[in-house]
Amino acid sequence: MPLADPSLAATLPQFQSTPLDQIPTIIDTARSAFHSGRTRPLEFRINQLQKLYYGLCDIEATAISAMSADLGRAHFETSFADINYTKSELISMIKNMKTWLADENVSEGIPWYLRWSHQTYLKKDPLGVVLLIGAWNYPWNLNLVPLFGAIAAGNTCILKPSEISPHSAATLEKLFEISGMDKECYRVIQGAVPETTLVLKQQFDKICYTGNGAVGKIVARAAAEFLTPVILELGGKNPVIIAPSANIPVAAKRIAWAKSLNSGQSCVAPDYLVIPRSLETAFITEFSKVLNSFYPTGLRNSPDYSRFVNDRHFNRVHEILKTTSGEVKIGGEIIDPKDRLMEMTLISLGHVSEGKWETDSLMQEEIFGPPLAYIVYDDNNLASAVDVVRKMSDTSLGAYVFAEKKAEQDLVLNNTRSGGFCVNEAFVNSIIAGLPFGGVGQSGTGKYRGKWSILSFVHLRSVVVNNGGWVDWLIGFRFPPFLESNYKVLKMAVPSPGFSRPKK
């Protein structure tokens, strides 16, 4: 939708950086609150999350307006991908966290001489103080969903939203205020580079960062100074392989939806396509039909098409589009810097054998915008499409294949690497709470969502309890002096392998 009238922004919570001299104190206070044991009781955690839920309900209209002011985002998109998903995730966390946090008895691997007297289990201990550095493109989803897990796990938390979507960042801080969150345990720190730099000089027990790889490396280096573990969700060039057996109308519609959502500013959006020669023309035709059906009155006046978040991001993608050597097949005409509007643009980079796609501007970095490049391959050589993916984005955050034949689906799935994967879909792997969300390799490390948020923000503490002093006669062989009888008992402790010696 067109960028919001400036008068709307004046009615929203206003962004204000946290004073630098307050930042160390805020973090020290969170650490003291953790050590006080305040977040240990499950009832306290549930109460805080319930407050957040109703705070979200109360501030929802403001949150939608904030996204309109920041991104010109369609109201439905904000509700679908940010607010409603976030509320659903929170409800699930509150309902299931007691089960997910329960101790887990361990029976495997216990030596026979300890089974009668020793209890073994895993205790899910909170880590301490968690820092969450969120993203601007889905500020509610990507800031709050990992926060829910960190709170449920019993940690105190510092949230640092992105200043790039300032109205949303300010509204997130307002959410904490109206929800009545414990101010010593959970705080929002606002700011840009100076504030973030100072935050990263403090010690945390885990850091979760969502954003680009360049900043991800800065976060990882800062965390390494304290040996702090990290979750890094970094995105990348997500490939779509269209196999010869693909249903083209279905593929075109789902790819267009996944790419147009938030105007392509999604870490799991399709970045480029690899298309068999025989389906190229059909795909172009169907893709054009789909876009016309999505935006029947045109992009400029559509309330359902988002804008770029700022001039810098618009100019970066515009420069990529201006310098491509590819052939524009659809779009490429509606480019309005004043409105930060760029239409969906489909660009051919030729046949895989030509090789020009390797050096084209569209293939050098994650696009994070509406342009969508494609490369053609021969129908009888699906493996060449996989080779393109391996060369350009070997460890992307998402990877997608459209194929009706199981053999083609399996070939792509088993010969590529990615954080998540979809067959005959795109994007949706990132909005299913029962699946962990995270990258691999260059697209990140660690995961969260649902029970995986719990597991990511707790320490699995191995606990052994010996309840019987009477059994020392049975386990006494471990104590000196070591006689022949000790060795006989020791040999009994090793189980039979249950398999024969391999012949080769």
Q: Which residue carries 């999604």 as its tokens?
A: 266
Output the six-digit token pair for 427. 């994007």
In angstroms, rounded to a whole number, what is the distance separating the alpha carbons of residues 190 and 16?
7
Output the six-digit token pair for 113. 């001489």
Q: Are strands 345-351 and 444-445 parallel, antiparallel or unpaired?
A: unpaired
CB 267 within 8 A of CB 235: yes
Which residue type occupies 104?
E
Which residue type occupies 192?
A
Closest CA to 201 of 27, 29, 30, 31: 27
Please give the model's pTM, rounded to 2 decimal places.
0.94
Q: What is the pLDDT along the chain (504 residues), one digit of tens a residue?
A: 565 556 677 789 999 999 999 999 999 999 999 999 999 999 999 999 999 999 999 999 999 999 999 988 888 889 988 999 999 999 999 999 999 999 999 988 888 778 778 889 999 999 999 999 999 999 999 999 999 999 999 999 999 999 999 999 999 999 999 999 999 999 999 999 999 999 999 999 999 999 999 999 999 999 999 999 999 999 899 999 999 999 999 999 999 999 999 999 999 999 999 999 999 999 999 999 999 999 999 888 898 999 999 999 999 999 999 999 999 999 999 899 999 999 999 999 999 999 999 999 999 999 999 999 999 999 999 999 999 999 998 999 999 999 999 999 999 999 999 999 999 999 999 989 889 999 999 999 999 999 999 999 999 999 999 877 777 777 788 889 988 888 888 888 788 889 999 988
Q: How far is CA 294 from CA 65, 82, 289, 297, in A?
A: 23, 20, 9, 9
Q: Sign of torsion, CA 253 256 261 266?
A: positive
In angstroms, rounded to a whole number, what is the distance separating the alpha carbons of residues 93 and 87?
10
In angstroms, rounded to a whole number, what is the distance separating the alpha carbons of residues 61 and 297?
26
CB 129 within 8 A of CB 157: yes
In angstroms, rounded to a whole number, what is the distance separating the alpha carbons of residues 413 and 421?
8
Partner residues linked to 209 by β-bridges = 133, 232
Say how many Å lie between the first and final Cα of the chain, rounded: 67
The pLDDT of residue 494 is 83
Active-site residue list: 233, 267
Phi, psi dihedral angles at 385 (to 5 degrees): -65, -40
Domains of the chain: residue spans and CATH: 6-234+450-458 (3.40.605.10), 238-437 (3.40.309.10)
In angstroms, rounded to a whole number, what is the distance separating the alpha carbons of residues 429 and 437?
8
